[in-house]
Structure 1
Amino acid sequence: MHTFMKPTALLASFMALSVLSACGTTAAPKDQAADGSVKPTAAATTQATAAVKMKTETSEELYEKAKKEGKLVVYSPSARANDAKKTFEAKYPGISVEVFKLKSNELMDKLMREQDAGLNNADVIITKEVSGAVGEEMVKPGRVYTYLPEDIAPKVDEPFRTKDGYANYLEMRTLYYNTEAYSKAPVSNWWDLTTPEWKGKSYLVDPLISPAFMDLFTAMVVNSEDMKKAYKDKFGKDIELTGTPNAGYEFIKQLYANNPVILKGSSDVLDAIGKAGTKSPAVGIAVSGDERKIEDDGLKVAPIYDLKPKTSVPDAGYLYMVKNAPHENAGKLFIRWMMGETDGQGAGVEPFNELGAWVPRSDVKTKNAIPYEQLNMWAYDHKGFYDNATKVRDFVIKLK
């Protein structure tokens, strides 16, 4: 039995602020040295590979078997799964798709409780990571597995081919600025936000209520050597820690000391800095998936795609088959559909290939100004995040 916190408790700790404020610190994880530096991990290099099933079953073969099953059940935090459902049912009559919309942490809890009770309800899940818990508590134990057929696999970009599990889309959190106030990006280094020039002029979502935003801070802690180098690039001298374990923690401390404006959601951040005519001098961290809101609401903001040391960490929507799926063939057929099929042109991928979202396939043309391959991001180190997320959370609590 593992000694890590169960996902339900882990996510409740992000969302229940009354509980959070009473939490104390935790012992340093085994991958963290006494000085706070984080030892490099395998970053899930074996997490998905043991479970990946590469056999190609054509859509026609799967459809013949799936018609006998008649349905499939999907758990997903994204409403876009319903868009894929509509086109799938039109393409494959005789198979109905039931989509249950659940937040990723709720999805994990529901699936694990069902499996532990011997119930096999779900066939496919679409899920975001939950501070590394999906990789550590669902993929590694074999509760779910990656289905990536060999006719599609060569077109899938790493690390979503052999390491992290297949993601049919990914987003990220990065800085946005007002294009009426600035003709070009006013920030090029995360450490810029700790300087007097930016005091009170940065907006962010409260990471204590958003695990995805907390992942950005955790990435800085796990990759503290990168943050250390970026500090020297900015200030021309080595960093001096002020009682913090490493440069990642030091950045978080200095950012909070510079009076950022904390809001509830990404859309709030974009509204605060981007309304036309305001020429807001502030910048804000928002999710790239809100690019549609920018267009719809006529906001005057643009993302910063190149920040030192890295712009962000992927926030990916992973596709997994569920162990002992009762409608296995229909589930595989639906995953192929959402992948875009062999040529990447299938309609099932269209809801996920939008502004602010990237499909990590070399044969799917992005709608964004910059392709996925050029995004300057840290890899998502599932184990590193899993081992450090609670510690980072507790550190942020003490800063509030």
Structure 2
Amino acid sequence: MRRTKKIVPVAALLALAACAPSTGGQAGTADATAAKPLPSASVDTAFDLNALVEAAKKEGSLVVYDSSGDIEEVAKAFTAKYGIAMEGVKSDTPETAEKMTREHAADNVTIDAAMYEDGGVLMGQLIPQGIVQTWVPADLQDQILPEDRNPLRALSKATVFAYNTKLSPGGCPIKNIWDLTEPAWSGKFLMQDPLGKPTVTSFLTQLDSHGNQALEQAYQDKFGEPLKTKEKSAAYEWIRRIAANKPVLTSSDEDTSSAVGAPNAADKKIGFMSISKFRNNEDKGYAQSTCEGMKPFAGFSYPKYVAIAAKSKHPNAAKLYVHFIMTEEGVKHEIGEGGTSGNSTVKPLVDPPGLTDWSTQLFHTDPQKLVADLQNRQIMSDFWRLTHR
């Protein structure tokens, strides 16, 4: 069953964290979100998978939150395999963080584990404040790269610029990211509102941290002259122009996908959406593909982490879930339309339409800058509010 979740503003989440166990500074300030060494990940020295399964069965059930509805399929597969009732709940990342923070403070925990797309809040607040913790399955440890263990990266996904292949059979109608700032695409570019989608806000802040050179080169490729701007960087100039060009802001990637790729679509539009929505091509007869060859990139990749509630009432079942999602049997339900597993032995299952080489086609989120994303989030959000019209 799909559940409708309200969007919690980022500012509210940052204020909420002040109610949680303190890390030595007021939540939302640079001190509270400063990059500090995370507590070490937990690894059971005498790990026994069979013993973990038996202990989890005695606990009887668990609840896992995720921003993707795919968690419901993961839950069905987990229950079928282990006979343990698992409920997978689709919930926006900000709401999940808020609920887990409140439950922890009240000693009334109902969420046993969660999948986090918002690495900034996870690494800058939830883990340091002891609300959640990282557990690494010892028998899979050697299959997980050291940099992916703390926090534990379950998988990586991508958000891409997509178009309708029936309306544009010759390929994507835009070739350069700066095309979207042109009057011809005013009101024809759809994306989730950055104020309600942490991964989009993170993309914008990361563009400013390590994407400016690529944006400057793309500008010169398009206009034949160097970029001149009064903004602090090329990223801020692109964001200002995008925000001012009347983008259509949606509340979900599903809405974006419907507007771009539905069979009855009549106008050429570009959507900025998760590759998971390419499932609509088969399920609903949509016609959509990544803007292959777009300069300087066709979208961005980002990590999704898994963490266990520190006060979970079903800690063994939560650990078993983590083990499950770190195997192909579990993660395939999350990366079935494209994505990569945090387990290096699990290979990508499919190439999403138009996305054949993640290393060259995508702008990549730098996990080392996720806490900085959290620090700069309010600045970026305020800039978007001022420029979007």
Matched with 2:279 is 292
CA distance in 2, matches of 1:330, 1:13: 28
Answer yes or no: is 1:266 the counterpart of 2:253.
yes
CA distance 1:69–1:196, change in 2 (3 Å): closer
1:222–1:385: 8 Å Cα contact kept in structure 2? no
* Root-mean-square deviation over aligned CA pairs: 3.5
Matched with 2:93 is 104
Secondary structure of the 2:64 match is: strand
Secondary structure of the 1:302 match is: strand
Answer yes or no: is 1:368 the counterpart of 2:357.
no
Matched with 2:3 is none
CA distance 1:206–1:66, change in 2 (3 Å): closer
Q: CA deviation at 1:173?
A: 1.9
Q: CA deviation at 1:129?
A: 0.9
**Which moves more between the two structures, 147-156 or 377-386?**
147-156
CA distance in 1, matches of 2:109, 2:252: 35
Answer yes or no: is 1:92 the counterpart of 2:78.
no
Matched with 1:3 is none
1:55–1:149: 8 Å Cα contact kept in structure 2? no
Answer yes or no: is 1:168 the counterpart of 2:150.
no
2:207–2:235: 8 Å Cα contact kept in structure 1? yes
Matched with 1:4 is none
Secondary structure of the 1:237 match is: coil
2:193–2:250: 8 Å Cα contact kept in structure 1? yes
Give the counterpart of 1:303 among 285, 290, 293.
290
Matched with 1:10 is 10
Counterparts of residues 276-355 of structure 1 (less than 5 Å): 276=263, 280-304=267-291, 307-340=294-327, 344=328, 346=329, 348-355=330-337
CA distance in 2, matches of 1:389, 1:367: 33
**Which moves more between the two structures, 327-336 or 73-82?**
73-82
CA distance in 2, matches of 1:278, 1:118: 50
1:169–1:359: 8 Å Cα contact kept in structure 2? yes
Q: Percent identity?
A: 27
Q: CA deviation at 1:84?
A: 2.7
Matched with 2:17 is none
Answer yes or no: is 1:232 the counterpart of 2:232.
no
CA distance 1:162–1:184, change in 2 (3 Å): same
Q: CA deviation at 1:315?
A: 4.3
Secondary structure of the 2:351 match is: coil
CA distance 1:88–1:173, change in 2 (3 Å): closer
CA distance 1:261–1:87, change in 2 (3 Å): closer
CA distance 1:115–1:277, change in 2 (3 Å): closer
Give unmatched runs, 5+ long, in structure 2: 1-6, 15-28
1:169–1:316: 8 Å Cα contact kept in structure 2? yes
1:122–1:325: 8 Å Cα contact kept in structure 2? yes
Q: CA deviation at 1:324?
A: 3.7
CA distance 1:246–1:144, change in 2 (3 Å): same
CA distance in 2, matches of 1:261, 1:100: 28
Give the counterpart of 1:67 among 50, 57, 60.
57
CA distance in 1, matches of 2:246, 2:378: 23
2:75–2:86: 8 Å Cα contact kept in structure 1? yes
Give the counterpart of 1:148 among 103, 125, 136.
136
Secondary structure of the 2:174 match is: coil
CA distance in 2, matches of 1:122, 1:199: 42
Matched residue pairs, number? 360
Give the counterpart of 1:386 among 366, 369, 374.
374
CA distance in 2, matches of 1:275, 1:117: 45
**Which moves more between the two structures, 389-398 or 263-272?**
263-272
CA distance in 2, matches of 1:295, 1:112: 39
CA distance 1:234–1:145, change in 2 (3 Å): farther
TM-score by length of 1: 0.76
CA distance in 2, matches of 1:71, 1:64: 12
Q: CA deviation at 1:60?
A: 0.8
